[in-house]
């Protein structure tokens, strides 16, 4: 039941009968009436003045009179200049809450066999270090966008490409070989990804010390870098890996295995998952083949040094390197290879890459190259370009060990949530197991909500202290409101109150009650808008506004102590539907809500 759609048709009919002209849906501009005016929906009449040939006020009054006489949803109207404020009849809101109650998946559209298949790539970690704060934003955005697109009736495949080869991987391997003393996750008690990350930092420490010594002997920065024996050893290890050297490959498989076990733990704690994981070590050769195929077709060209390039000057770009002179691939080649494998595996209709905005140019080029190479979705691929995330202290660097580790961050959030909840008495009467579960739900909810409520295209500063607050635009505030509603519903059930399938109500609703029904009715449009803009923030901020509105209602109106039985039933059903939409909306953000707090 969409009140805006009903009114849009009624307005078109009004203009046709009053002024003898047909108008389009786009000319009917309806929006929620501003709080300072009386009404629920406002119609802008300025687009109709050329047709009516009358003043804005007269046109608005004539349309208002017509709607009141002919459209049963309209109870009253008022005119403010060229704006027609329409008040919806009481029974419409009751019908609307009944409709919302009947639809167990209200706001969610299921996929069918004809639904388009959207593949979404996110995470893209390197196997030389653990996931950090930047990965947290990437993973949360990728997972949430997947859930939102699914809720809009798309088939979705969540995918990951793991950067498991290259010089950066060899740096960790070399440091472990030289100084690791056969350390393993078991012998050190460290997660595998953390252990390997320590060796990446260790390599950088030794490399910097070597450069310092070389520069003290009179060499310039470039000369010292060229003379570095440590970097030469890392390059030789990469050469051995690419040549398939058994010892090098065996060490690589063992150390990557440790990292994957660590990643799996982090992903599980974060609540994200993947349908298919690809590995650069398996895709880069496919990319080379595809580039050479493009060379044969004249799409690419070869320079005298044997390197292969694409001329993109006709597209307003430059020349792009695809294969180095020694035949080794670059990131672009690997992405082309990954695209080929994915296209072989799935009938992709749309491809979405969740990657930071520093890669905008890369994906502009990738889109053109994939299109030239014959991938039907290449031209329309979506680079979901999001901003960077930092802490109040500033930027992070993984090679220097100053990065904020995702595991540590999540642990600290859970610990802070436990302490804050205990201080506020939110865990009174809970067992230790219940308290720990609530702390985990609240801590991770605070982290996810704080990151996802921000427009993803903007850079942001994550402030852990601000995120765990039971007041304001935070995850815990929303979670606590949900738990409060669930408590009301439990008490209603305990008192023996049976809620009928359909509400009947003869009394008038208060404006706060109508506002809540109106907000609930807009949830399907919010889910649609979030998908069209690839923005979980649209849902996050809608849920916050809904929760704020509900808390004002809860403060001003009695629910279980209401003497009018019909009104009591209405308020309980209204509360239940608010809770359902909170849970559904937060679920699209990957956030759980606790039944008790």
CATH assignment of the domain containing 33: 3.30.1360.70
Residue 520 domain-assigned? yes
| Terminal CA-CA length for the chain | 34
Of the residues 61, 88, 115, the one at which a domain ends: 88
Residue 418: name the closest of 433, 439, 442 by CA: 439
Residue 267: name the closest of 140, 149, 386 by CA: 140
CATH assignment of the domain containing 581: 1.10.730.10
Q: Mean pLDDT, to the nearest integer, of 235-251?
A: 94
Which residues, listed in sequence order, are joined to residue 310 by a DSSP beta bridge?
320
Average pLDDT over all residues of the chain: 92
Q: What is the pLDDT of residue 291?
A: 93
pLDDT at 399 over 60: no
CA angle 123, 126, 129 (to 5 degrees): 110
Question: Using H for helix, E for strand and C for coil, what is the string for 25-57?
Answer: HHHCEEEECCCCCCCCEEEECHHHHHHHCCCHH
Q: Residue 472: left if φ>0, alpha if ψ -120 to 50, beta else—which one? A: left
User: Does an H or E element contain 85, and which?
Assistant: strand 83-88
% of the chain at pLDDT higher than 70: 98
Task: Report how far residue 331's alpha carbon sits from residue 208's, in angstroms, rounded to the nearest whole number.
Answer: 26
Cβ-based neighbour number of residue 183 at 10 Å: 14
Cβ-based neighbour number of residue 89 at 10 Å: 15
Residues 6+ apart with CB under 8 A from 201: 398, 399, 400, 401
CA separation (Å) from 221 to 204, 210, 217, 230?
16, 12, 11, 15
Residue 451: name the closest of 475, 469, 426, 428 by CA: 475
Of the residues 43, 66, 88, the one at which a domain ends: 88
Q: What are phi and psi of 77, to 5 degrees?
A: -150, 160
pLDDT at 394 over 70: no
Sign of CA dihedral 218, 223, 229, 234: positive
Residue 35 domain-assigned? yes
Residue 545 domain-assigned? yes
Residue 426 domain-assigned? yes
Question: How many domains would you assign to the chain?
Answer: 2
Residue 556 domain-assigned? yes
User: Does an H or E element contain 191, and which?
Assistant: none
Q: What is the pLDDT of residue 396?
A: 41
pLDDT at 359 over 80: yes
* Strand 83-88 with 308-311, pairing: unpaired
Would you state the structure tokens that stand for residue 495, as one six-digit string?
């008192």
Q: What is the pLDDT of residues 105-150, one digit of tens each?
A: 999 999 999 999 999 999 999 999 999 988 999 999 999 999 999 9
Q: What is the pLDDT of residue 1?
A: 57
SS3 state of residue 177? helix
DSSP class of residue 116 equals P
Q: What is the pLDDT of residues 541-595, one digit of tens each?
A: 999 999 999 999 999 999 999 999 999 999 999 999 999 999 999 999 999 999 9
Residue 548 domain-assigned? yes
**Interaxial angle between packed helices 511-521 and 90-102, expressed in degrees from 0 to 180 and rounded to the nearest 10:** 40
Residue 483: name the closest of 424, 538, 523 by CA: 424
As to burial, measured by CB atoms within 10 angstroms (0-12 exposed, 13-18 middle, 19+ buried), residue 10 is buried
pTM: predicted TM-score of the whole model, two decimal places: 0.90
Of the residues 88, 122, 153, the one at which a domain ends: 88
Residue 142 domain-assigned? no
Is there a contact between 497 and 428 (Cβ–Cβ < 8 Å)? no
Is there a contact between 56 and 49 (Cβ–Cβ < 8 Å)? yes
Task: Report how far residue 86's alpha carbon sits from residue 88's, in angstroms, rounded to the nearest whole number.
Answer: 6
User: Does an H or E element contain 357, and which?
Assistant: none
Q: What is the pLDDT of residue 402?
A: 54
42: containing domain: 3-88
Is there a contact between 566 and 509 (Cβ–Cβ < 8 Å)? no
Residue 374 domain-assigned? no
């Amino acid at each position: 039941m969409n009140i805006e759609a009903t009114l849009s048709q009624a307005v078109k009919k009004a203009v046709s009968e009053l002024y003898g002209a047909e108008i389009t849906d786009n000319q009917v501009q309806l929006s929620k009436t501003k709080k300072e005016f009386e009404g629920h929906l406002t119609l802008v009449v300025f687009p109709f003045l050329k047709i009516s040939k009358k003043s804005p006020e007269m046109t608005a009054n004539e349309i208002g009179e017509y709607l009141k006489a002919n459209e049963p949803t309209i109870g009253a109207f008022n005119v403010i200049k060229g704006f027609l404020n329409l008040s919806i009849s009481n029974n419409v809101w009751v019908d609307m809450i009944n409709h919302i109650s009947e639809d167990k998946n209200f706001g969610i559209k299921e996929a069918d066999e004809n639904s388009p298949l959207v593949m979404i790539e996110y995470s893209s970690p390197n196997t030389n270090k653990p996931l950090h704060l930047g990965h947290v934003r990437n993973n949360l955005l990728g997972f949430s966008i997947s859930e939102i697109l699914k809720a809009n009736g798309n088939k979705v495949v969540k995918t990951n490409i793991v950067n498991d080869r290259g010089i950066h991987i060899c740096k960790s391997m070399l440091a472990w070989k030289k100084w690791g003393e056969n350390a393993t996750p078991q012998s050190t008690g460290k997660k595998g990804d953390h252990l390997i990350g320590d060796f990446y930092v260790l390599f950088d420490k030794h490399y910097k010390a070597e450069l310092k010594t070389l520069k003290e002997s009179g060499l310039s920065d470039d000369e010292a870098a060229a003379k570095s024996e440590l970097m030469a050893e890392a390059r030789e290890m990469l050469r051995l890996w690419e040549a398939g050297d058994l010892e090098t490959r065996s060490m690589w498989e063992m150390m990557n295995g440790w990292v994957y076990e660590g990643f799996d733990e982090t992903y599980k704690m974060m609540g994200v998952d993947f349908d298919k994981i690809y590995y650069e070590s398996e895709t880069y050769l496919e990319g080379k083949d595809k580039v050479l195929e493009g060379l044969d077709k004249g799409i690419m060209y070869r320079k005298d040094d044997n390197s292969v390039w694409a001329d993109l000057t006709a597209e307003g770009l430059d020349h792009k390197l695809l294969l180095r002179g020694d035949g080794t691939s670059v990131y672009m080649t690997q992405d082309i290879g990954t695209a080929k494998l994915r296209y072989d595996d799935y009938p992709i209709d749309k491809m979405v890459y969740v990657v930071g905005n520093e890669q905008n140019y890369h994906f502009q080029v990738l889109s053109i190259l994939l299109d030239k190479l014959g991938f039907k979705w290449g031209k329309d691929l979506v680079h979901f370009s999001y901003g960077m995330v930092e802490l109040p202290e500033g930027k992070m660097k993984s090679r220097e060990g100053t990065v904020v580790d995702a595991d540590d961050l999540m642990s600290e959030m859970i610990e802070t949530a436990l302490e804050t909840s205990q201080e506020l008495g939110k865990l009174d009467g809970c067992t230790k197991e219940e308290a720990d579960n609530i702390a985990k739900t609240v801590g991770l909810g605070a982290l996810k909500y704080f990151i996802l409520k921000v427009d993803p295209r903007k850079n942001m500063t994550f402030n852990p202290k601000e995120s765990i607050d039971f007041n304001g635009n935070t995850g815990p505030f929303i979670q606590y409101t949900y738990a409060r509603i669930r408590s009301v519903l439990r008490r209603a059930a305990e008192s023996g109150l049976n809620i009928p399938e359909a509400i009947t109500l003869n009394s008038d609703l208060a404006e706060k009650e109508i506002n809540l029904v109106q907000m609930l009715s807009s949830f399907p449009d919010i889910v649609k808008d979030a998908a069209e803009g690839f923005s979980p923030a649209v849902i996050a901020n809608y849920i916050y506004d809904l929760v704020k509105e509900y808390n004002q209602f809860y403060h001003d109106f009695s629910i279980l102590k209401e003497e009018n039985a019909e009104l009591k039933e209405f308020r309980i059903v209204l509360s239940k539907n608010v809770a359902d939409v909170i849970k559904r909306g937060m679920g699209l953000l990957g956030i759980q809500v606790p039944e008790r707090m």
